[in-house]
Structure 1
Amino acid sequence: MTYNRLSRGVRKALLTSLLASPALAAQAQHPPPGQPDAIELDRIVVTAQSREQELKDVPIALQVIGENVIEQTMAENLGDLDSFVPGLSISDDQPTQASFKLRGLSTGDFGIGTDPTVGVYVDGVYAGRGGGTVLPFLDVERIEVLKGPQGTLFGRNTAAGAVSIVTKRPGNELEGRARVRMGNYGKQYFDGMLNLPAGETTAFRLNAMSSQTDGWVKDAATGKPLDDGRNWATRAAFRWDIGDNTQMLLSWDHEDMDQRSRPAIGIVALPPAPGVPPVPADPAQYQNPIGHAAYTDVPDNDETRKFDGATLILDHAFEWGHLSSMTSWRSFDTYNRAEEDGTNRSELYLDTINIEDNTTWYQEFKFSGNTERLDWVAGASWFQEKASQSSVVDLTSDSINTAAAGLYGMPLFGMLQDAADYYGIPVQLFGHPWREAYDNTVDSTAYAAFGDVIWHATDKLNLTFGLRYTRDEKKFTWFNDYHRADALNQALQTLQQYGVLPQPVPCEALGLCAMDEDGDGLIPLDAAFLAGFDLAFSDPISMANKGVTNRARHAWSDWSPRLVVDYHPSGDTMLFASVAKGYKAGGYNVFSPGAAFDNESVWNFETGIKRDLRDLRIQYEASAFYYVYDNRQAIRLDTSADIPRYVVSTSDLTARGVDFSARWQASEHLSVDFAAEWIDSTYKDFITPDGVDLSGQPTGEANLSFAAGAAYTVPLGGHGDLTFSARHSYGGRGRCNSGSSSQGNCGRYATFTIGEERNRTDLYLRWRSPSTQWSVAAYVNNAFDNRYVNGLYTYGTTVVGTTAAGVSEPRFYGMELAYRF
């Protein structure tokens, strides 16, 4: 049934395009003889297939974001652009833990035990984990978003697709640029570029940027900003034409980010202190976080990153082709301490910290060439990653007491404090910090060999066959440390010395009857027991491995083929069909010693059309796809136990859909573009860790998303020109499933909805001087101030009875002054 529905959908999409296109062509108005139409649609050249081709000749669903779109939306990184690429979603409210989703397939590398599903590449170099992907734009020429598996063309972790960032290379002309931008919420931005040729064979290109903001969320109690921050970055590139046939490109990137961690707005009504809300929190009582007061009592709630990267590219041309070598080193250190309870109450205190140290090496050799009948590329690569991660949960003895009362009906430290006060023992059990930590390391190595050959069978028919072999090896460690609460433990030792401890308590109250050695239903509650007690990492496997380093080692390998047929019935039309396999290595659950899972695999089937109607100055493409994804890895909050924990779950899913994009040069001064995606994504087989069967249910992905833009330039004679740009994006309503509410990522509540339709409109107006050296621009992002609830932070829901939420950004506006030469 699925195949029949897909076939009908594909035939309908293709027939609609094929039938409509000649009708459009027939309406073309040809200029009179002797008056040729000088207006042309800009040619877009891409390197999606490891060779330079026009966009219209590439048999891949592909969307390109050019430099003009980046400028007109004032985008500073990838996270500012995803709404204008239907099917692409980037979660970057925490840029050190960013995740990507493409065609409904997400990258959930919350822990270093898993790998990304969407590969991000910069000048062909694999960017690695999410913590090193959402970096400031520096001299970006274009961004290519390739949908569907791209293993034979790009390499690692492109099971869902690839995002390829292409930067500008040092040129032979002296040029430079400086831009200053000021906006609301204390926005200040600067960037500069200098291209400096040094003779005929060498050139330098230098870039720098700085950005800071006062933030748009303030603490209702202190008035201090909760999301202020700054970052600065630099890039330097050196090009050397060693000879007529050899070129070297050396580049270096650095970034330093220091900002507040994402705000968490509490949505649970709190009784007056020292009262606490019911545990768990009642979703029926949630308040709307948009416009709601925000609070925090987390000290040093910063999110920081220091990033460095260097790349060396060598390219040599032979008579028969090209040989290139690409060597890359990338390293980053991140720290992210985030509010979780959304309050400033010590009895509800809960925060989390993620600390990562990551270093990667990448080496690739690539051979490419062509003959009259063949275009080919082949190569081999090596990748190594050494990374460490610390996952920390901070509470206080006050919030531990709240959790114990809510979970076990026993206010643990409250009872002991009452006893101490009764006997006059000089101890204080409240107001002390409590920290739990899980440490992991990974040493990963990957080897690959790949090839991709295009056979020009006839003047109109091309056949492409690609194949990639990959072997991944990973060594992983887990260390669940004893909690740190030195002041509290010392106070408990004092109580034991006075004879208040040990106290026998019912084992059922704490869920620890496995520790009842004599079978009387009681366990001794003493200082030693409490010193070894954990709240966040208290599952049986973690507790059984307390203070012990566990190790594991696994290897995975895969053959991933790609087959494409493209047919050109005329010079302006291409029809194509493809089948490709995607692969992602297996991995580990960072919070469960010894827990490993299999690799992911996806089979993607696609067919489409691309047309270039030059008379109408219209270029468009449409494709229909269907994929089957097995063993999809995702981070999920397991709420089946009293204490929630993050686990890696695996599921099988299927999806079918249609992608469409078009460009139209309506006149010499007006350009229009449009892109859309429709997708139906469902779980084929999935039972969540908390026992909910989601098989056959939607994965949460909205059916429809689209983006449209237009730019109009008005010549002002000898006074320069004026350009106005408007861009709008739409994201459809999320399709929730039975497990959405526990994850806080989709659902309807009494006062708000998560996953509702989203609209964003960006406006831009620029005056440019007659010499084009000076320009002044005004911009508005999210012009209609549309606000949405992004999701819930539910870690504290069943622990201390609080739930917090994240909301989308408000309207931003400002001015920009630029000079270039």
Structure 2
Amino acid sequence: MKLRKKVLTSSISSALLACSGAALAADQAPKEETHVVVVTAQNRTQQAQDVPIALQIVGAEQIDKLASPSLAEMNGYIPGLSVNAEQATQPSMSLRGIGTSDFGIGTDAPVGIYIDGVYGGKTGGAVMNFNDVQRIEVLKGPQGTLFGRNSAAGAISIVTREPGRETELEARLRYGRFHTRNVELLANTALSDSTALRITAVHHGSDGWLKDAASGASLQHGTDNGVRATLRWDAPARAKVLLSVEAEKLDHMARPAIGLVAGVPAVPADPASYLDPRTAPVYNDAIHNGETRNFRGSTLRIEVPLGWATFNATTGYRRFDSRNRQDNDGTNLPTHYVDTENSERNRSWQQEFRLSGNTGMADWVTGVSLYHEKAGQTSQVNTNTDTLDNIFGNVAGFPVFSQLEGAAAMAGIPAGLLGNSWQENLHVEARNKASAIYGDVIWHLAPKLNLTTGVRFTRDDKRFSWYSPLRTAAGLDGSIANLQNLGFFDALVGMGAITPEQLMMAMGAMTQNIEFTSTGATAAPLAKKNKWNDTSPRMVLDYKLNDDMMVYGSIAKGYQSGGFNALQVNASYDPEKVWNYEIGMKNYYRRYKLLVNASLYKYKFSNLQSLALVNNGSAIPSYQVTSSDQGAHGVDFDMRWQPVRDLRLNMSTAYIDQTYKNFTTSDGVKLDGQPVGTPKWTTALGADYWVRDVAGGDLDFTLQHAYTGATRCNADALQGACLTTPRFRVGGATQRTDFRVGYEANSHQWAAALFVNNLFDKRYVTSIGNMTTGLLGTPYAMVNAPRQVGVEVRVNM
């Protein structure tokens, strides 16, 4: 059986890994052209140094060296990109400070994720386990003229490996602390002279590093399994057809809520007495706690050379069902019980046709994109009448249920008002259509001067509905009906114990919603629809000072359609628009094998949609979508240096100064001119060093470090982004260091490694949950993972 070989040519593969700061085996080590990296960022095959866009490339080798099962675990190593997937089915991400934490289906995302050209959305199907990834291209700034969906802030293009003609069998096992395991299996074979098949499977599981202090049960155990099969057909006339089918099943506990108060909480909560969540006991009692996702997808890609142009067609279908039910009080007290659940059903279809060619005078791309999505979502709050009684007492000074219970007890009547479950639901459905025509032309004005002009015409058509029925509390309803039949409430009024107005208020408190209080969609769904059109241009001028040095300037508009608030009935939003201005340089100093890229940008964003915790008049604050105008300026810098054959160094850094231009919170806090919260600095450093010819193989030492600056605080304290207590701080600067030493035999048939993530065991409080703080005195926190030590074995046949 032949040894495993790369699908790409060795020169391209070597160059790609070099640029990403990844390690190479001895026979793959680049000699000179370490800066030559082939990408498809502009829907053309180009060298990265010829692309006048601020972009960062992450190769498969760097993903392996970080032991990263998904994009979330690489957070910090791509400066300017922030990924939060503490809840895998409700991820949030931002690029250059622009993003959305909204997990509702009513809005889109300004950062587009594409897998082999197919849009991945922003909710439950956006962040999944890596499966046979060849590279990740992160493009910063508006990319509407280049991708099927208009990505106002930037795009993340994940490219998987194609089947090759060589036979490959590979198994990789990674095992670490907390019974963390990752298994990857690969089989590639030629079926005939013109067809090849590639099948990959991944398994990721962990027992987690947090346990419930009362039950001893793991709060993070679970698995994530995925499989992909790709068939390649080299058709006549040099045409190529790729058909991929994939599936993924995620099943684990929901993110734990670490309570910050001891004993019976007091209202208001006193931050001076908060426990340190990094060492505090954890109590979570959410019923049916868990996070699940079932994903299915298929992609058909066709490429046909026509002589005068190349025709590409991409058809993608995605479907997933997800559920996430989690604790929202951080205690196991029945009188303080609150949990929330988010479930989603999503079906999407994408069709894109593209023509591209090169006339010598111009390099052009034009395309048509169609996108259909049908989605349903249910937001749910679960609590009980004991907790509601606590809330009514804290907020209004009148604990309705216990007061009525006491009055009934004096009359010798078993009221049965306490101890009952209470559930509220908000059901929403969305039907979204998007169509676009786009074109992008690189005009070769002179041998060293290019002008790129592009434009995108977009039409979005969205239909949305809300249905918020009255709360479900069967036990309570039975008790109320029994008391009414006994004439209990009338007797209270007749005795003068309460007034008729007080009785009406008490009955309203017991029978009406306390969270989903919007009117108009209680008896039947309320539907709304809207359409938006947009024209987004792009213009870039680049000049080659010499073969290895380029300067460029660009102006681009980004657009994202309007939408609807999935958590507030009848609420809609205007489209987002951004103008981005940028200048940059791309340099390679061949003599020193030093690559230096930098860009300076400024943008103004209108109607940016973000998720925020707001006091909306209901008993429990809710997460709702808000819109704001924002502006920023910043710098992206990237350096790769190979001073000697066996040493590579890399550094990437991003600086951003981002502020609100026009925004007042729903609580009346004016934030004009204040920072949005995005840290000013993020930096990633890396070093690779090889020791050759050790026991018939090579040793590779890798050290990587990520730094994220402190959150820039503003006056909106409800979000919990900035908090300092005697025991911990939220929003401070964070650092992470990862180390790996690997050995690969000269035959390349096997390799082994030892890795340590978070080498210095840096622990941080990553966020604060204030949903129940003002009502029950129960704030909770999330923290990052402790040091992870593990081993890896890879076998090729």
Q: Secondary structure of 2:768's partner?
A: strand
1:76–1:502 Cα change, 3 Å:
farther
Q: Letter of the aligned partner of 1:254 in structure 2?
A: A
User: Among residues 383, 408, 412, which one is paired with 1:395 in the alignment?
Assistant: 383
* Alignment of structure 1 residues 468-487 onto 2, 5 Å: 468-487=456-475
Equivalent residue, structure 2, for 1:24: none
Match of 2:286 in 1: 298
- Residue in 2 that maps onto 1:621: 597
Name the aligned partner's letter for residue 294 of structure 2.
Answer: K
| Partner in structure 2 of residue 802 of structure 1 | 778
**Counterpart selection for 1:456 from 444, 454, 471:** 444
Q: d(CA) in 2 for partners of 1:200 and 1:657?
A: 51
1:496, distance to aligned residue in structure 2 (A): 1.6
CA distance in 1, matches of 2:163, 2:446: 39
The letter of the residue matching 1:151 is G
Alignment match, 2:169: 176
1:551 counterpart letter in structure 2? A
**Structure 1: 4+ residue segments shifted above 6 A:** none
Taking the aligned partners of 1:800 and 1:262, their CA distance within structure 2 comes to: 20
**In structure 1, what residue type is equivalent to 2:237?**
D
Residue of structure 2 aligned with 1:86, choices 68, 79, 89:
79
Partner of 1:588: 564
What are the equivalent positions in structure 2 for 1:594-605 lying under 5 Å apart? 594-605=570-581
| 2:623 is equivalent to residue 646 of structure 1 | yes
Aligned to 2:61: 68
Partner of 1:167: 160
1:711 aligns to 2:688 (yes or no): yes
What is the Cα deviation at residue 399 of structure 1?
0.4
Evaluate the alpha carbon distance shift between residue 503 and residue 78 of structure 1 in structure 2; reply closer, same or farther with a 3 A threshold.
farther
> What amino acid sits opposite 1:524 in the alignment?
M
Per the TM alignment, residue 372 of structure 1 is displaced from its structure 2 partner at its CA by: 1.1
What do residues 373-399 of structure 1 show as CA deviations (whole Å, max 9, x unaligned)?
A: 100000101000100000000001110
Cα-to-partner distance string for 1:316-349 (whole Å, 9 max, x where unaligned): 0011110111000001100000110000000000
Decide which of 306, 319, 327 is 1:331's aligned counterpart: 319
Match of 1:465 among 433, 436, 453: 453
The change in CA–CA distance for 1:500 and 1:525 in structure 2 (over 3 A counts) is: farther
1:186 is displaced (CA, Å) by 1.1
Native 8 Å contact 1:108 1:116 kept in 2: no
Residue 99, structure 1, aligned to residue 92, structure 2: yes
1:199 to 192, 195, 198: 192
Counterpart in the other structure of 2:435: 447
Aligned to 1:309: 297
Q: Does 1:536 align with 2:515?
A: yes
Cα distance between partner residues in 2 of 1:132 and 1:757: 30
Q: Which residue does 1:17 correspond to in 2?
A: none
SS of the aligned residue for 1:338 comes to: strand
Does the 8 A contact of 2:148 with 2:352 survive in 1? no
**Structure 2 match to 1:140:** 133
CA RMSD of aligned residues (A): 1.7
Give the TM-score, by structure 2 length.
0.94
Whole-Å separation in 1 of the counterparts to 2:267 and 2:426: 25
Residues 128-148 of structure 1 show CA distances to partners (whole Å, capped at 9, x for unaligned) of 123111111111011010000
**Aligned match for 1:787, one of 743, 763, 767:** 763
The alignment partner of 2:410 has SS state of helix
* Aligned-residue identity in percent: 42
Instruction: Please tell me whether the aligned partners of residues 377 and 453 of structure 1 are also in contact (alpha carbons under 8 angstroms).
Output: yes
Aligned-pair distance for 1:81?
Answer: 1.0
Q: CA deviation at 1:532?
A: 3.1
Structure 1's unaligned 5+ residue stretches are 1-36, 272-276, 511-515
| Residue 538 of structure 2 is aligned to residue 562 of structure 1 | yes
Q: Which residue identity does 1:237 align to in structure 2? A: T
- Alignment partners' CA distance in 2, 1:75 and 1:193: 18
CA distance in 2, matches of 1:761, 1:670: 19
Is 2:792 aligned against 1:819? no
TM-score (structure 1 length as normaliser): 0.91
Q: Is the CA contact 1:41–1:614 (under 8 Å) kept in the aligned structure 2?
A: no
User: CA distance change for structure 1 residues 311 and 628 in 2, over 3 Å: closer, same or farther?
Assistant: same
Instruction: Name which of 205, 218, 222 aligns with 1:229.
Output: 222
Q: Tell me what 1:550 maps to.
A: 526
Q: Offset of 1:524 from its aligned partner?
A: 2.6
Query: Which of 354, 358, 369 is equivalent to 2:346?
Result: 358
What is the distance in 1 between the residues matched to 2:147 and 2:640? 26
Q: Aligned AA for 1:438?
A: L
The counterpart of 1:374, out of the listed 332, 337, 362, is 362
* Equivalent AA in structure 2 for residue 708 of structure 1: L
Distance in 2 (alpha carbons) for counterparts of 1:548 and 1:501: 31
CA distance in 1, matches of 2:692, 2:383: 62
**Counterpart residue type for residue 420 of structure 2:** H
Q: Equivalent residue of 1:95, what SS?
A: coil
Shift of 1:664: 1.3
Q: In the aligned structure 2, how far is the partner of 1:260 from the partner of 1:502?
A: 47
Counterparts of 1:247-258 in structure 2, within 5 Å, are: 247-258=240-251
The residue number in structure 2 matching 1:722 is: 699
SS at structure 2 position matched to 1:135: coil
C-alpha distance in structure 2 between counterparts of 1:403 and 1:671, whole Å: 59
Shift of 1:181: 1.5
Deviation of the 1:748 alpha carbon: 2.3
Does structure 2 conserve the Cα–Cα contact (< 8 Å) formed by 1:504 and 1:525? no
- Residues 648-694 of structure 1: per-residue CA shift (max 9 Å, x gap): 11100100000000111222211111100011000011101111000
Alpha-carbon separation, structure 1, partners of 2:695 and 2:720: 57
Of 90, 98, 107, the residue aligned with 1:114 is 107
Contact in 1 for aligned 2:711/2:721 (Cα 8 Å): no
Q: Secondary structure at the match of 1:457?
A: strand
Q: Please say if residues 181 and 190 of structure 1, whose CA atoms lie closer than 8 Å, have aligned partners that are also in contact.
A: yes
User: In structure 1, what is the Cα distance between the partners aligned to 2:325 and 2:490?
Assistant: 36
Which residue of structure 1 lines up, in the alignment, with residue 504 of structure 2?
524
Correspondence list, 1:566-581, <5 A: 566-581=542-557
Aligned to 2:169, the other structure's residue is in SS state strand
* Distance across 1 between alignment mates of 2:574 and 2:475: 44
Name which of 43, 51, 54 aligns with 1:58.
51
2:183 aligns with: 190
Unaligned runs of 5+ residues in structure 2 are 1-29
Are 2:105 and 2:377, in contact at CA under 8 Å, matched by a contact in 1? yes
Q: Which amino acid aligns with 1:208?
A: A
Cα distance in 2 between the residues matched to 1:750 and 1:152: 51
1:733 aligns with 2:717: no
Partner Cα separation in structure 1 for residue 719 and residue 234 of structure 2: 54
Distance (Å, rounded) in 1 between the aligned partners of 2:506 and 2:135: 63
3-state secondary structure, aligned to 2:52: coil
The one-letter amino acid of 1:78's match is L
Q: Residue 504 and residue 707 in structure 1: after superposition, are their counterparts in 2 closer, same or farther (change >3 A)?
A: farther
* Matched residue SS, 2:124: helix
**3-state SS, counterpart of residue 615 of structure 1:** helix
Q: Give the match's secondary structure for 2:373.
A: strand
Query: In structure 1, how many angstroms separate the alpha carbons of the residues matched to 2:365 and 2:548?
Result: 26
C-alpha separation in 2, matches of 1:746 and 1:562: 37
Matched to 1:694, the amino acid is L
Aligned partner letter, 2:512: F
Q: Which amino acid aligns with 1:665?
A: Q
Contact 2:203–2:224 (CA under 8 A) maintained in structure 1: yes
SS in 2 for 1:683: strand
Q: CA deviation at 1:412?
A: 1.1
Deviations 1:31-81 (A, max 9, x none): xxxxxx945425211100101111111100000011110111111110011
Q: Do the aligned partners of 1:204 and 1:238 also contact (CA within 8 Å) in 2?
A: yes
Aligned equivalent of 1:760: 736
Query: For 1:337 and 1:306, how far apart are their aligned partners in 2?
Result: 15
On the 8 A contact 1:718/1:770 being kept in 2, the answer is no
